[in-house]
Amino acid sequence: MANTVTIERLTIDDITSRIRRAYGVHTTQTYRGAWMSLSNLAERVDLTFNEIKAGVLHLAQTDRQCVIAPESNQRTLTGLDRELAVRYGGQDNHLICWS
């Protein structure tokens, strides 16, 4: 009997919902409107890097309250921060928040 693997196919709505939920948990521990690094987000959500990047980009383009921004102190970025950066507005963005 062969082993089978079930692959879950997520829609962009599924992905953005998971991102919002992970951010919501983060902000209940800090405060609403707090910046969250995409690397911190990746630790809190069960998504691939490509799914996170696609979801964050979609949110930035479609949700007027979602803001993404580059880390101002680029020297503090880790390899993971750089890998998860979302290119938008001509910049690599590493942080997300909702206003």
Residue 2 lies in a domain: no
| Cα gap 56→15, rounded to integer Å | 9
Tens of pLDDT, residue by residue over 27-60, are 666 666 789 999 999 999 999 999 999 999 999 9
Residue 3 lies in a domain: no
| Cα gap 96→38, rounded to integer Å | 7
Q: Which domain holds residue 41?
A: 12-98
Number of domains observed in the structure of the chain: 1
Residue 5 lies in a domain: no
Q: Which of 82, 66, 63, 76 is nearest to 27 (CA)?
A: 66
Residue 1 lies in a domain: no
Given a cut of 90, whether residue 3 has pLDDT beyond it is no
45 DSSP assignment: S
Lowest average pLDDT, out of 16-20, 22-26, 88-92, goes to 22-26
Residue 51 lies in a domain: yes
Residue 44 lies in a domain: yes
Computed over every residue of the chain, the mean pLDDT equals 89
pTM of the model: 0.85
